[in-house]
Amino acid sequence: MAASSDGVKNAGNMCSLAEFVEIYDLPQWVSVLGGSELSTSKNIRKGDILLIHTLAVETIALSYTDPDTNQIRTLDVPADANVRFQILPPESKKDGKFAVFTCVKDLLKVCPTYFKVNSVDESPNLPETFKPGEIFRFIKRSRRADNKQVYLQCEDASGNILELPFDCRGNFTVVPDDRLFTIKEILQLGAVPRSLKLSSVQLQLGSQGASEAAIYGNLLTPDGSDIFHRIMGIPLTYSGILTLHQPKLFLVVSSQENMDMKQKLPLEADIIVRSYSSDDYEAPGGNSLREMLTLEEVMNRFGDDLPMLATVIHYKNIPSEFRAYLPPGQDVIIHKIEKADRLLAESRNVYFSIAKTLKGHFRDTLKSMYSMKEMAELGTHKDVKVLQDVASDYPKPFSLQAGDVIRLKSQELIEYKMKRGRKTFGAFDVYKCEKRISEKKYEKLLLPKDLEICMHEIPSKEKESGFPASDVFRLEITLPRSVDFLADYTTLWTCLPINSEITLNRFVSEKFVVISPVQKDDKSGRCCIDAKLEACLLVPLRHHLVLAVKNHLGFPPEYFQFPDRNEYVTLDAERIEKKTYDSLIRHSDNEYEDYEATGSDSGVDEAVVTRRNKPFYDNTQTGLNKRFSRSLGTLFNKGKKMSGLFDRTPKIKETPPKETTPKAAVVNQTYNVSLQSSSGMEDEEYFEEECIYEKYEVPSRKEK
């Protein structure tokens, strides 16, 4: 049985399980105070101390009207199904228009993604920054610990987090949202019934005929069919409304004595709990429960005491790459924090972070064309696939079917005269084209310049193979760039879409924590810390990994033998939220840091070379380091002094002692970053980077 207490102290903080998860972020320690459920439960008793890991659901129920039989069908769908839906706003039962809500309590019954506050009754409980008439983004239903009052947590257009009281009255309307959500993302907004529609991606793939190849035929199964996600039981071309029923949620809990054994606890179970406090209880054997900290909190508090031994309590939204290494209860060693460059990408308002180690290839997006004019812009002798049937006897009879391959022979228009018997009509402007008959055989074809036809580019042999992600990191590919992802069977289940266009936007630098799982002895079950590490994980510092820190190991940094960098377990591609995407850009140190250089007492300007630290995975001056070693900048600022710089940095330009230091600006062409000093001179001088190379020699880095 778990550690116990009498449950008398702080009884004012007691609440039900459903109220507890609305007040506190999980995981949390709780003490069981009572409830009718305890009379039938064999594993939980009054006074037990439990760890609530997370709120979970196994399957959700989706129903739809079968178009063939006109009957309602209900399906059980896994909560982690990778199918995307559009959330439909609730409609009024009277006129079919968008429903109007008069109270926040009613708004919480539908948990909309966005809503507009048209008007609101005066209330002293409203936030000061609240402004009626704005559109707000729904975050979650929350509850305060002091008064148990329910609030609607939302975000305004300025990014302020607000809480609207449960009883706030006014005029609220739901704002339609075209974004797509997975089932897991929908449940995170609120476990309420909803009306959904399948995303247009599934519909487009399903609507194509069996004889037509998909536009994005990047990856094929052995039988030649396209790979995409679907829900078995729902027709691919179904465009009607799907009803999401109220899901049955449960809590995953474990006792303090045996954290490896977990059990399900229904969220609606009649069990009264309160948050555990170490001042009120004493764990068995006099061992107090260890404080739970997030990964970022651990690094902030114990960053100077690494390596540390800790236990995994909970990993929210754990990536599949880490599941086998970081289960709850796993002991780990936190070694150090490092930085790595990542590539940010976007596709249909979905955001991604990509590593240099990503397998698979990118290729430039294939162009879609809808007229002969657009085909002419593509260029000559480039194959395109016709995606529709079209035929005409003007100006010269032709017939094209979906799947035919044609190409432009010349971008210049020629005049063609129609002949009907002895009469001649024209001249008409036409393009000289060719239609492929066999692999190497083409027939001549004349198509009018004003012909409207749906076509799609077929990649050439050079373009078909694409380029690896490492080429982007070596700056051989300019950004931003629109690409398709060509997955292979090693990246089959990656989060990157294989059926839609991806935009590679920019580089950022992110902090990662090096963690290695501790192996346990098969016989004794004790942890065995070996100097030679079998596996190392690069976990992003921003991830919600909750740990219980055990102790400082006290080993020197060179004690552990790390595996090769290529063997590290990392996230080659990660789907991230828009907030995370913006935060990575805002806090990235990929851009040049601000350096200050000051003139010496003799009035001579000194040049400071702005450098960037090498990425942790690159010990040579190759790859990303090249772009920083090629782009050197100078900053000038009079009145300050950096010790030692004047002695080892050659002079660039001598200035008369009484004149003010000239102003300089350096533009980083790679990242479009402009660095400029703050001198007050009216006459400005700009020093080109090429001039800097000629003025002095830069100390070169050591090459291996």
| 3-state SS record for 329-385 | CCEEEEEEEEEEEEEEEEECCEEEEECCCCCCEEEECCCEECCHHHHHHHCCCCCEE
Q: How far apart are CA 183 and CA 84, in angstroms?
A: 7
Can you give the pLDDT at residue 635?
A: 36
Q: Are 380 and 408 in contact (CB under 8 A)?
A: yes
Phi-psi region of 324 (alpha: psi -120 to 50; beta: other; left: phi over 0): alpha
Q: How far apart are CA 301 and CA 290, in angstroms?
A: 15
Compute mean pLDDT per 10 residues along the chain, 704 residues long, and list them.
41 79 85 81 80 86 87 87 86 69 91 90 76 88 86 87 88 89 88 86 45 35 41 78 90 79 85 72 44 88 88 87 89 92 91 91 87 89 89 86 90 84 81 88 89 87 80 85 82 77 91 90 69 91 90 83 90 91 79 38 34 37 37 38 43 46 36 36 37 41 46
Three-class secondary structure of residue 646 per DSSP: helix
Q: Are 646 and 594 in contact (CB under 8 A)?
A: no
Q: How far apart are CA 270 and CA 599, in angstroms?
A: 74
Q: Are 21 and 251 in contact (CB under 8 A)?
A: yes
Can you give the pLDDT at residue 511?
A: 93
Q: Are 671 and 612 in contact (CB under 8 A)?
A: no
Can you give the pLDDT at residue 523?
A: 61
Task: Assign 3-class secondary structure to 545-585.
Answer: EEEEEEEECCCCCCCCECCCHHHCECCCEEEECHHHHHHHH
Can you give the pLDDT at residue 495?
A: 85
Q: Are 353 and 365 in contact (CB under 8 A)?
A: no
Find out whether the peptide bond into 307 is cis, omega within 30 degrees of 0: yes
Can you give the pLDDT at residue 58?
A: 85
- Residues linked to residue 351 through DSSP beta bridges, in sequence order: 346, 576
pTM: 0.56
Burial (0-12, 13-18, 19+ Cβ within 10 Å), 248: middle
Can you give the pLDDT at residue 53?
A: 84
Q: Tokens 């010496």 label which residue?
A: 600
Burial (0-12, 13-18, 19+ Cβ within 10 Å), 236: middle
Can you give the pLDDT at residue 325?
A: 92
**CATH topology (fold) of 11-57+249-289:** SH3 type barrels. (2.30.30)
Can you give the pLDDT at residue 513?
A: 95
Can you give the pLDDT at residue 676?
A: 37
